Structure 1
C-alpha cells in the first residue's frame, strides 16, 4: 500500500519460519474465498474455481486478547470477550498487508508465513519490477535502501539510482539514498535480505549503521528487529504465488505507482506492467475470482476492466485523493457514482476516510464517503489496521485522524473495526498484523 505510516506495538507469535508451507487440502468444504461468508451466500465450489478451505492451525498470539482487555467496558467488549476460548480459523475478511510487517520484514517469506498462520485469507504482494523486467514483491519501486540490506553490498549499492549520503548531525540532515528494484536484476534482488522498514535515517556510514550492518535507519521502538537479524527472504511474484497457493489461500497484487520514468527502457509501458501481473497469475492457472488486483492509478483499474474483464471484476481502486489536495475528499465522494458507472466495483480508501466523529453522541459513525459508496453500490475495502503507532499517542495518527478526539487507548482499535465492519459494511480489511482482524472476523462469523 501507498503510505509508510507506522504500525502498532505487539507481541510476536511463535512461528517456525523455516518450515515449508502445507499442501493445499482439496476437501469437500469450499469456503474462505471472496466474501461469501460475510454475505451469507451458499457454500459450494466457486464458479470458475477457487481456493480450497485452508487446513492451517490458526494461531493469533496474545495481541488480540490484549486489545480486548484494553477496551472500554460495553457490549462490544463483552461480545469479543465471549470469543476468547473459541478456536479460530482463516477468514477472507482478513487481508495480509505486506505480510506481517508489525514484526517481520515486509514482503518476506517469513512475514507471509506469519500472516497465513494468523488466519489471513488473502495475502498481498505489492508488485514492482527489476531491470530484467521480472516482477517482485516490494512496497515501492525505490525503497530497497530502507527495507533491505542493499547498502551492505558494495557492488549492488553502486547501482543505486542515488548513492548513500551519510547523516549530518551538525545541521540535522538525514542520511539518504535511493535504491530501486529497477536498478538491479531479479537474481540480484533475491540475493538481498529483507529488513524492517527504517524510519529515522541516521546512519553516519554504512559500517556504523544501526541496529546492524547495512542499515540506513532505525526501527520504531514499538516494532522489533527480532525476526530480521537472520536473513529474511525477499520474494518474486512467482515465489509468492507458489507460497500462497501452497497454503490454499487467495491473492491480492498491487501494481505500484511508478517512481521511475515510464516507459521503462524505452518500451515497457505501465499497461505492459499491468498486463504482466495478470499474465503471471494466468501462467499459474490461478482463477481470476481468487485475485484482487489493486492500484492507486485509475487508469490501471480501467485497463484491467477493458482488457481482462475477469480480473477487472475484482480490481480494487485504492483511493488516496483525499490526501492529495484540500478538496480531494469531496472530489472523491462526488466521483463515486461515475466510477461505478465505468465498471469499478470495489473502492478502497484509507480508514480515516470511511469514519467520522459524531461529537453530539460521542460515537464513531460512517462518513459521507462511506454513505456515498454504499449508495453507488460499491464494495468497500479499507487499509491499514495495525500500521499506526500506539493509539494512546496522538489519537493513533494518520489512520485515525478523522476520529482522533474519540480515541484514547489501543482497545479502541476494535471499536473502529466494528464500525468499519457493521456500519460502513466493508467486506475486507488490510492489516499489518492480521491476527487482530482475524479475531474479530471469527467472533462475528465473517469467514
Structure 2
C-alpha cells in the first residue's frame, strides 16, 4: 500500500520549481518565487522513508506523508539548500532550498580584491565552483594559473575571490563543485561531479554578493532567516590582506545587515574562528547573542577529548550555540554495541548549557558506501550504516536524543519533512539573552 502511495505522491507532488533556467546568460535576472507558492518536497523524503526497516519511527514518518508541510527554521539550507543537485551558493540553490521549506538560508561570506563581500564557500574555490578558467582575462589573475595534467602530476589551479574584483566576480557562472584531475585543458577541467550528484542543472548558476543574498532572502515568503558564515581565509590569502584585517572583515559582515535594517533576530552569524564570534558577542551583542561557533577542533581522538573539555569555557565566554559536524555528536553503543547514541561531545555541550546546531546531512554518497569511502560525516557510526533509509534514524537521534536546534542540509526537503512530522520549529533568537 505504501508503494502505491509513494508512487502517487511522487506523481502528484509539486516538484521544486525554483531550478536554474537552461542557457541563462550572466547578468540575466533569474525569476523569483511568487508570494503564494507552496512548500514542495518532491519524491526524495518518501524514498528515504520507504527504504527504512520497519520501526515505530518509520510508522510515524509514514503517517506524515500527506503533510501539510510548512517552513521550519530547523531546516537550514546549506550553501542554499539545493546543493545536492544545483550549483552551491547560487540564487538557484537558495530558492530551491526555500521552496523545500528551509527557514534559514546560508551565505558563506568571502571577500574580493576590492573588499566586496560575496557568497562563496571558500575564498579559494573559484576554479572548482565557477567557470573562471573559461574566461581567459580572469583566469590570468588566478593565484595559481591552470596547468594541465601530464604523466607525473594532476591538473592544477587555484583561483580566489581575492584575486578579482566584485564586478568581475559577478560575471562568473556557478557550477557543481568538481574538477577533472586528468584534464589537459581548462574545458575538460570543468567536469568530475560525483556520480551520485548531477550536472543536469549545471547551466550557469547565478552568483550572489552578500547584499544581493540579503535582498533575495528578504523577498522570500515566510519571513526567512539568514545564516552568514564568515569564511576563514586560507594561508594563501594571509591577513591582513592589503591592509584589510580579520576584525574589519568580521565587522563588515554584520554591518551589511545593519545597513539593510535587518532584525538581528533573523541573523545567525557563524565562524570557525573563535575571535570572530567573541567580536560579535562584544561589539554587536544583539547579533552575538545567537552567533554560532563552528567547532571542528576534534579531528583526532586527543583533540576530540580536548574539544569536549573546552565546552564549558566557551559558554563562560558568552557563546550560546556550538555547531560541530554531525559525527562529533554520534557514536555507537547500546547493549550490543550496534545502536547509534549521543556522543561525549553531545552530552558535554548540553551539560555546559550550550545549544547545538550541526552539519551536514545529505552531503554524503549513498549510505551503503559510507564505510568503504570513509565518508567524513558518518565516520563515527559507519560500522552500523547499511542503507539510505537510516538517514532518518540518524536524524532522529540528533533531534530527539542529542536535542539539536537545527541541521544544515544539502537537500532541504529531507529535513523539512522530518521537522514537520515532529513539530520542530528550530532555534528561536529571543531565547538568547545579550
TM-score, reference length from structure 2? 0.89
* 1:235-254 mapped onto 2 (5 Å cutoff): 235-247=208-220, 248-254=223-229
8 Å contact from structure 1 (residues 125, 252) kept in 2:
yes
Structure 2 unpaired stretches of 5+: 1-12, 20-29, 426-434
Aligned-partner Cα distance in 1 for 2:370–2:354: 32
* 1:17-416 mapped onto 2 (5 Å cutoff): 17=19, 18-23=30-35, 56-99=37-80, 100-168=82-150, 170-171=151-152, 173-207=153-187, 209=188, 215-228=189-202, 230-247=203-220, 248-259=223-234, 260-265=237-242, 267-323=243-299, 325-358=300-333, 360-361=335-336, 362-395=338-371, 397-416=375-394
Aligned-partner Cα distance in 2 for 1:401–1:285: 42
SS in 2 for 1:402: coil
8 Å contact from structure 2 (residues 107, 213) kept in 1:
yes
Deviation beyond 4 Å, 4+ runs, structure 1: none
C-alpha displacement of 1:446: 0.9
Check 1:73–1:357 CA distance in 2 against 1; reply closer, same or farther (3 A cut).
Answer: same
Aligned-partner Cα distance in 2 for 1:75–1:21: 37
8 Å contact from structure 1 (residues 96, 124) kept in 2:
yes
Aligned-partner Cα distance in 1 for 2:207–2:370: 33
SS in 1 for 2:308: helix
Q: Deviations over 1:72-116 (max 9, x none)?
A: 111101110110012211100000000121010000101111000
Q: Find out whether 1:428 has 2:406 as its counterpart.
A: yes
C-alpha displacement of 1:136: 0.2
Aligned-partner Cα distance in 1 for 2:325–2:50: 26
Check 1:12–1:234 CA distance in 2 against 1; reply closer, same or farther (3 A cut).
Answer: farther
TM-score, reference length from structure 1? 0.86
Aligned-partner Cα distance in 2 for 1:101–1:12: 19
C-alpha displacement of 1:359: 5.2
Q: Deviations over 1:296-315 (max 9, x none)?
A: 01111111111111111111
C-alpha displacement of 1:360: 2.8
SS in 2 for 1:327: helix
SS in 1 for 2:208: coil
8 Å contact from structure 1 (residues 202, 217) kept in 2:
no
- Corresponding residue for residue 6 of structure 2: none
Structure 1 unpaired stretches of 5+: 1-10, 24-54, 210-214
SS in 1 for 2:124: coil
8 Å contact from structure 1 (residues 201, 217) kept in 2:
no
